Amino acid sequence: MALLLEANERRQDTSGIQYSGRDSDADGSQSSAVRLKPTLNVFSGAAINIGTVIGSGIFISPKGVLAGAGSVGLTLLVWVFCGIVSLFGALCFSELGTMIPQSGGPYTYIRVIYGDFPAFMVMWISMIMLQPGTFAILALTFGNYCLQPLFSDLSCPVPYNAVQLLAISAIILLAIINAWSVEWATRVQDIFSFFKVVALGIIIIGGAVEMGQGNVDNFKNAFEGSNIRGLGEAFYSGLYAYAGWGSLNMIAEELKNPYKNLPRAINLSMWTVVVIYVLTNVAYFAALTPAEILASDAVAVTFAAKVLGNFAWIVPTAVVLSTFGSINGKLLTISRLFYVGAREGHLPDVLSMLNIQRSTPLPSLVATVSVSILYCFAKDVYTLINYFSFVSWTMSAFAVIGLVYLRWKEPDASRPYKTNLFIAIFFILSCFFLVIMGAIAAPIDTLIGLAIVSTGIPVYFIVVRPVKKIEWIYKGSDALTVWIQNFLMVVKEEMEDSKDKSK
């Protein structure tokens, strides 16, 4: 168990936390120490995963999947395949998460297995683009769907400034909730996850009624017109809808008894999402022809107008609820990623501090919100995100390659949850297949993405791990840290109660 023991020692040196350091609170017992506390049960954990995955994707991706696949049958197979890939990735992360029960997800696993430099590169691209950019897109989608009913006249489009203002308002509101209490943030996630599942259930029931009335023509000759060459586009559109399947691993330290509850919550959430997504797409095809789906920019809204009649307002409302809940889930998980990165010395130390009254990572939340709001003002944030789609899949692939490596290197290490090696290998091959297809389809975008990723190399060796410290940078950083501590009332995480220290 050399790797895991070495990681334990390094974690103890940097912040006083060992893997076993969470065991004392595994039952969720409260402590007066200023620290992140395990308050999430299985259902709250599943709600975070469900609420983060089910955002706007299921309402807009069906058009892209059908455009790539070309037929009803192949489209449904793509949705199943994308669900399997996401489920397999989540199951692999379940094993990694119970072996290394720390927050941070793939960043943490790559740090433990491969070392600091690869982990910093993951953190760098997550910090400057991947996480805040996708967060901003989600918030802008929320703003657009909120305002869309007020601008039903096609000659009067939704003002983009109004969309930005509403998106920023939602981010700030949820940031306040997350800063005030993890329990409050969890309740928000539970409520909105419930309502979005109910809304999708209405779509599924509507599709079942259509099929019961004999509307099954679209399923006859289902594979006619299949387009194998367009599978790359279809897969990317489908997997966009499943994005976020590793969200719970980002906050593993806040889960009660993670050794049992992490795999349970991941299994519960991912099977729920896969079943809902496939049945929702069956419902779409029961009510709409492929031509109608391809002609629509909002398939779910078109479905509602045709099937639900006077209750068509349910679907736009569902999109608003879905995106709002996903914004909350993203904020909860992204802030923890930056918190863990700072705790490991890869980001400014102040980001690893907690508010002394609320035990919430207030500096990390402020940083997350600030960067995300900046992206809300970007005119071409959608194109920027496309540059880094290969990064996400490469990162996930190497994390799971690490799982396979640990099976060989440390076969006797404790594995409270153990996934089948076939699942891990299938997921790794799927990731590289997606990366290669993406590079072939958009080589210029891939090169631009690589160039931006490489900007993290000098940052690591000059600022994060310099051979010789640049004194003025460190003095300025220390002064700023003290000011932020006083302003936000934050301190480093404590691992023991004061009464325990006095013994």
Q: What is the pLDDT of residue 503?
A: 38
For residue 423, being part of any structural domain is answered with yes
Own/partner contacts of 392-397, CB < 8 Å, gap of 24 or more, are 392/130, 392/243, 393/431, 393/432, 393/434, 393/435, 393/438, 394/431, 394/435, 395/106, 395/110, 395/122, 396/89, 396/106, 396/246, 396/427, 396/431, 397/427, 397/428, 397/431, 397/432, 397/435
Q: Distance between CA atoms of 493 and 56, rounded to whole angstroms?
A: 36
DSSP code for 490:
E
Residue 485 CB neighbour total at 10 angstroms: 16
For residue 305, being part of any structural domain is answered with yes
For residue 29, being part of any structural domain is answered with no
* Structure tokens belonging to residue 314: 């349910």
Q: Distance between CA atoms of 5 and 412, rounded to whole angstroms?
A: 13
Q: How many domains are contained in the chain?
A: 1
- pLDDT tens, residue order, the chain (503 aa): 555 555 544 444 433 333 333 443 444 444 556 666 777 889 888 888 888 888 878 887 888 899 888 899 999 999 999 999 999 999 999 999 999 988 888 999 999 999 999 999 999 988 887 788 888 888 888 888 788 777 765 556 778 888 899 999 999 999 999 998 888 888 888 888 888 888 889 889 999 999 998 888 889 888 988 888 888 778 888 888 898 888 889 888 888 888 899 999 999 999 999 999 999 999 999 999 999 888 877 788 888 888 888 888 888 888 888 888 888 888 888 888 888 898 888 888 888 888 888 888 889 999 889 988 988 887 766 666 666 677 888 899 999 999 999 999 988 888 899 999 999 999 999 999 888 887 887 788 788 888 888 999 998 988 888 766 667 777 777 788 888 888 888 888 765 544 443 33
The answer to whether the CB of 143 falls within 8 A of the CB of 170 is: yes
DSSP code for 71:
S
- Domain holding 129, by residue range, is 2-18+37-497
For residue 31, being part of any structural domain is answered with no
For residue 32, being part of any structural domain is answered with no
Record the pTM.
0.83
For residue 210, being part of any structural domain is answered with yes
Q: What is the pLDDT of residues 330-373, one digit of tens each?
A: 888 888 888 889 888 888 888 888 888 888 888 999 988 998 89
For residue 30, being part of any structural domain is answered with no
Q: What is the pLDDT of residue 19?
A: 35
CATH number at residue 368: 1.20.1740.10
3-state secondary structure of 174: helix
For residue 26, being part of any structural domain is answered with no
DSSP code for 354:
E
Q: Distance between CA atoms of 393 and 438, rounded to whole angstroms?
A: 10
